[in-house]
Structure 1
């Protein structure tokens, strides 16, 4: 076992045993970050055991599992937050310490405190080969479009800004409008964070896109249109969702022609973000109206597949279909293996840090709902799992907003807005 002090704030180490971890607190460390996925070898402590041991010792613990070839911006961001938020020195480990140091130096470069050309020498000075970090930076610099994800922890939603570095034009995908169901309070914290990013990066918003009418959060599309003047878009089959929920809500005055949006996309339609060409794939199954947006080597797959350790999306909402979801996923997995896939949600299984980027190759290799599955076995797995899931707590609140493009209900005579939803409107739901 070896540990290398990188700074007063950070020490990186190879895989510690129980005795070593038990002694970390006595050495003055305040937090431990585990960067090693479970199951890499039989001798390592797993995440649950390490978390329990460190909890007994009173240390903070972060689980940010990565492999050398699958590090993403989300992992780097999580590592930075875990180290900066610790109440003292941090002890980060993986098999050898290389992945932990890689996450650290990538964060230093992205934040401007280190130059890319300094990375290799910095690694050598501490006894590490950081050629993987150098390669990561080169790949990242060449990627088009540029994608920034924003994780919203209340609902596990991921929002995206997708930009063309040449023209500084961008699209916002699946933005969240804050809503607290306990108090009825609304706010625009998430959307304003996106607007601040757009301003900071000198971007012009060209599109505001939703992949589908969301069941677990309000869409901020309408609010962002007011702020930016950019057009709103969604898949054309939103009209079928409108008709379905018009009946559920007993809402005869609802317009069900999709006119709440500026553009209704058909399967195969194209659009532009600056000089970048985007196209639309109709991806039903999770909902009747779900679409995937493909821009360059990036695909925004909403609630079809999650990260490989989380499987796939449910298909039991009104209008959902596990068979349709399987076919939609197969179309996505037919994209080139290195296509970046950006999911719509992450629920942090095992307590790991949030992640949202994978590749087609990773999904085919490692997603337990997909690898080695047939349509028949997938449908059986998906239906059995869906029968155990309660409905999202905001489904009845959110749909009446989102089938109007994220517009809140109109104020009534007293100036207040009111939501309306049916009792026993969704049949025999799991409590």
Structure 2
């Protein structure tokens, strides 16, 4: 099967069969990238079979499944990372090779090595129609605000810097403070990467926003406030979460008035990131306090809706409700279909690259928890699934920090900080 050489390090090709994959090493390649989602047509080998064949042939393998309309910058950057990490020339495929070439070309334009005006001719030179890539670039340039995602593989969390390109002002959404539960070590690597990006881009921080008190990572909101001076904010119902967990942790000294944040947002409240207006959707169900930040044409939904191939978030934490989650999701899906949705976690189903951006229309069409599902069916599905899920490994570590706005416990007389860990506090949880 013919490969089309793009550079000395990259060729693209149509869907190979397993026999062809087994010969790619002898053709001089060191790595295979599969840019095609599983199940597009009958007879397609699928990612698992391709990976086995590639590894048996001595090739490294990356799975970056995309469809033309749903390519995101995260996919482009994953493609670049796979290219950079390959030991030897790379061959990338989808059904025809077009999507693989599109991912490469978009990266070249985003990084300034190619102009948008050169894309169509570049495609024609190699026998491909890259008009879809041109349209992607036009949509990306028109999107407001600009959104940069930062993925933390330790907690599968996604953090965001949300920027108004006109004023160069930004908001940080759901920043992660690093914590290793095995050693008890804390660090600021994730937050410092965000600060480095902000400095490189010449941005000023207007807000540090948490969507809810997280159960799977520590919030870096307090740390970033100390570094930037920007105000912190969360949903007003955080006080209900504080009261609930104050009892679970037996913390008589914990203030439950939300005073740990500079602003408590109620449903319908409005704020600005530079010249871009934001508003608040109250989105309970995953927790009592969850909110969605709608900023321009982007909505930061965190633990309500995941990527379409991952369904929806659990609703079995203390104070959670599958019925409330359904209502919250319906309010999000009532936004215009082109609204960009940014989730807070990605668990990489099928071993694909991390992804975090979809649209309302994508979710309505392809999320199996939502497409063609009514409320009763959703509640049954969600509650049944939640009964099988163990609690997040950091829930009891994280909540005592996050109900304090990301503040670690005060040092004790010996200068060390200590977490308080209640035993048997979450009865009935799956082991």
Instruction: Give TM-score scaled by structure 2 length.
Output: 0.99
| Equivalent-residue separation in structure 1 for 2:48 and 2:20 (angstroms) | 17
User: Which residue does the alignment assign to 1:424?
Assistant: 424
| Equivalent-residue separation in structure 2 for 1:411 and 1:175 (angstroms) | 23
- For the pair 1:342 / 2:342, whether they are aligned, the reply is yes
| Equivalent-residue separation in structure 2 for 1:380 and 1:48 (angstroms) | 31
| 1:113-165 per-position Cα deviation (integer Å, ceiling 9, x unaligned) | 11111111111111111111111111111111000000000010000000101
Unaligned stretches of 5+ in structure 1? none
Secondary structure at the residue paired with 1:26? coil
| 1:357-381 per-position Cα deviation (integer Å, ceiling 9, x unaligned) | 0000000000000111111000000
Q: CA deviation at 1:47?
A: 1.0
Q: CA deviation at 1:61?
A: 0.8
After superposing on structure 2, the runs of 4+ consecutive aligned residues of structure 1 that deviate more than 2 Å are none
User: Which residue does the alignment assign to 1:73?
Assistant: 73
| 1:289-315 per-position Cα deviation (integer Å, ceiling 9, x unaligned) | 000000111000010000000000000
Secondary structure at the residue paired with 1:58? coil
Query: Is this contact kept in 1: 2:30–2:86, CA < 8 A?
Result: yes
| 1:154-205 per-position Cα deviation (integer Å, ceiling 9, x unaligned) | 0100000001010000000000000000000000000000000001111000
Query: Is this contact kept in 1: 2:22–2:56, CA < 8 A?
Result: no
- Greater alpha carbon shift after TM alignment, 286-295 vs 15-24: 15-24
- For the pair 1:281 / 2:281, whether they are aligned, the reply is yes
User: Which residue does the alignment assign to 1:202?
Assistant: 202
User: Which residue does the alignment assign to 2:382?
Assistant: 382
| Equivalent-residue separation in structure 2 for 1:58 and 1:4 (angstroms) | 21
| Equivalent-residue separation in structure 2 for 1:57 and 1:134 (angstroms) | 36
CA-atom RMSD in angstroms:
0.7
User: Which residue does the alignment assign to 2:321?
Assistant: 321
Q: CA deviation at 1:3?
A: 1.3
User: Which residue does the alignment assign to 2:192?
Assistant: 192
User: Which residue does the alignment assign to 1:234?
Assistant: 234
| 1:347-405 per-position Cα deviation (integer Å, ceiling 9, x unaligned) | 00000000000000000000000111111000000001000000000000000000000
| Equivalent-residue separation in structure 2 for 1:30 and 1:2 (angstroms) | 17
| Equivalent-residue separation in structure 2 for 1:2 and 1:323 (angstroms) | 53
| Equivalent-residue separation in structure 2 for 1:241 and 1:111 (angstroms) | 43
| Equivalent-residue separation in structure 1 for 2:136 and 2:167 (angstroms) | 24
| Equivalent-residue separation in structure 2 for 1:312 and 1:82 (angstroms) | 28
| Equivalent-residue separation in structure 1 for 2:6 and 2:178 (angstroms) | 39
User: Which residue does the alignment assign to 1:144?
Assistant: 144
Unaligned stretches of 5+ in structure 2? none
- After TM superposition, list the pairs within 5 Å mapping 1:15-26 onto structure 2: 15-26=15-26
| Equivalent-residue separation in structure 2 for 1:93 and 1:280 (angstroms) | 42
| Equivalent-residue separation in structure 2 for 1:139 and 1:328 (angstroms) | 28
| 1:202-222 per-position Cα deviation (integer Å, ceiling 9, x unaligned) | 100000000000000000000
Aligned residues: 431
- For the pair 1:397 / 2:397, whether they are aligned, the reply is yes
Secondary structure at the residue paired with 1:258? coil
Secondary structure at the residue paired with 2:289? coil
Secondary structure at the residue paired with 1:48? helix
Q: CA deviation at 1:26?
A: 1.4
Q: CA deviation at 1:430?
A: 1.2
User: Which residue does the alignment assign to 1:252?
Assistant: 252
User: Which residue does the alignment assign to 1:49?
Assistant: 49
Q: CA deviation at 1:263?
A: 0.2
| 1:64-111 per-position Cα deviation (integer Å, ceiling 9, x unaligned) | 010111100110010000111111111100011010000001001111
| Equivalent-residue separation in structure 2 for 1:19 and 1:194 (angstroms) | 44
Query: Is this contact kept in 1: 2:292–2:300, CA < 8 A?
Result: yes
| 1:277-331 per-position Cα deviation (integer Å, ceiling 9, x unaligned) | 0000000000000000001110000100000000000000000000000000000
- After TM superposition, list the pairs within 5 Å mapping 1:97-136 onto structure 2: 97-136=97-136
| Equivalent-residue separation in structure 1 for 2:28 and 2:154 (angstroms) | 33
Q: CA deviation at 1:40?
A: 1.0
Q: CA deviation at 1:112?
A: 1.2
Q: CA deviation at 1:28?
A: 2.1
